[in-house]
Structure 1
Amino acid sequence: MAADWKLWIAGTRPRTLPASIAPVAAGAACAWAHIRALGVCTEQYPEPTVCTANRALQSALIGRFWPVVVLCAIVALALQIAVNYANDYSDGIRGTDDGRNVPDSDDEPFDALLGEPRPRKPQRLVASGVPAKRVLAAAGIAAGVACVAGLAAIVVSHAWWLLAVGVASLIAGWFYTGGKHPYGYAGFGELGVFLFFGLAAVLGTQYALAGTIDLTGILVAVCCGLNAMMLLMVNNLRDIDEDQRHGKRTLAVRLGEGNSRTVLAACVGAELLVSIVIVSALWPGWGVLLMISGIAVPLRMMRSAARHEFRGALMDAGYQTLFFAALIVLCVIVGGL
């Protein structure tokens, strides 16, 4: 039973979960910066009508801020888990995940120490023998949790147009590897995560909390999208041989390993440049210094990917995603003091 639960937990693909939580945190920080600015008004008597209206709006937005943040986080996490289970189901019935339990030559020194083989890649549920219908049901339950939390967030925030974003996110999650023509099998997975784990997640969160989006939110969304792309690109570089063998033409398969690493480096460079612009505006000096102090992580990620040390590369990609979100939160909090 314990092994079964461990397999289900592994099926959530924990290393991908930072890509769902980080955009919510970053979007919430952008929303807070906008809400805080509503209270900035020149002292006049009598107080201008616009200042009175802004203060009233600020009070209303602050009053519902944390409940909506929690609901947005639940949506993001549950939707990510639903997508992961759905991908497990789709890849499993196609046979794409076959061979994941073959030991990797890089793990042989560890095998001798542990006395047991280590899997080459994270185990998948269907490929490990779990009935496909159970995995699909788990994906449906997680998607249901995301829908309930999303509807609650929309009702509280009155951001009704986010219903369309939620529906689009569900459809995109399923057709990543599901359906007759999954876009994840055609090399558009990175574009999908950029749109939904970057733009939609950050800007949707900011709009739900602040009732608007701004340039800072857009730039932060771009960085979160690039971080999500990096995480998926490292994952697809790890699986490039198996994906090619099973006809899964990810971007890594289409470009080849060398060109894919070049694109990965371009994403790292673009993310760093946009990050400098954002942090310089939010917390000049110390914020930029903190950002520069974290450059070693994406550099190590690229080096690990080049050496086929994908376990470490994925950990660094996940850390980079969280680091950026934490940095934005810190810059908004401290930079606004």
Structure 2
Amino acid sequence: MAVLSPTRGDAATRRTPGDARAPSPGRRFGARMQRPGLWFVLPAAALLVVFFAYPLAVSLMQSFFRTEGGVSTFVGIDQYTRMLRDPLVAKSLGNALLILVVQVPLMIALAVGLAYLLNQSWLRFRSGFRLITFLPAITTLVAYSVVFRVIMTTDGGLLNQALSLFGVGPIDWLNNEFWARVAVIASITWRWTGYNMVIILAGLQAIPPELYEAARIDGAGRWQTFWHVVVPQLRPVLIFTSVTSTIGALQLFDENFILTGGGPNNATLTPVLYLYKIGFQQFDFGYASAIAWMLVLLTAIIAIVQFRIMREKP
């Protein structure tokens, strides 16, 4: 019987696996763009590039230029070496680190204490107390800073009037270096304690009740239960609140700008406030960009160190 040989058309249509060629890059990109998810992501990605990635790249490039008389000149790292000789940069960093060392631990401790108290089943009107504690977090930064400025006015301020009832003389809250720092720290603590309290409260409610029962069976008291059960379980939450509070302390601007303007004698000057004065009052945008990138690097280093320290198990 004769065997029919395949025609040229059949040979062309039949390919072995080794003969299969991968689609071209253009066809692969076109196939990917057919996926509906990419079209949903595209507007957000475009906004991210336009309003975040592009300004970041421009500010980094601008930090290597100096503009005088409308002419930009490439100066390399001169803007960064200038920061090493600028006493106000060191002063602003010292003020920010002081707020970081004093205010952040105080605020986190208050937030943990309030969250632990408001999580107790025996406390009545817990929802109302939680709402009252969280209310400062939803007030605008400018509004509450103006209110604090009015309260802490030396002559006729509400706080000095209240202190006079106890025989305490008027305190110059906003024009004395020490008390100005106290005023800034107090205002920040009032504003953000409730915000961190809600996050820590969510962490408390995620702790399994069996751990409390096991501690009670082992004879642990309230303090032992809190220290050996609650705190270890809250470690991820405490890391998150500590890192975000650290970033907030280093980026502090509104409170200092409205309450004290960075004074007196630059006692409350922060890096972001100094950056604002350099960029938008002196119009030295190259130097302001260099300060901004120095602050980004410093914030990242402190956050990484803080994360590693708190992540280690005792």
Interval of TM-score (by shorter of Structure 1 and Structure 2):
under 0.3
- Looking at CA atoms only, which structure, 1 or 2, has the larger radius of gyration? 2
Identify, as 1 or 2, the structure richer in helix. 1
TM superposition score normalised by structure 2: 0.25
After TM superposition, the score normalised by the length of structure 1 is 0.24
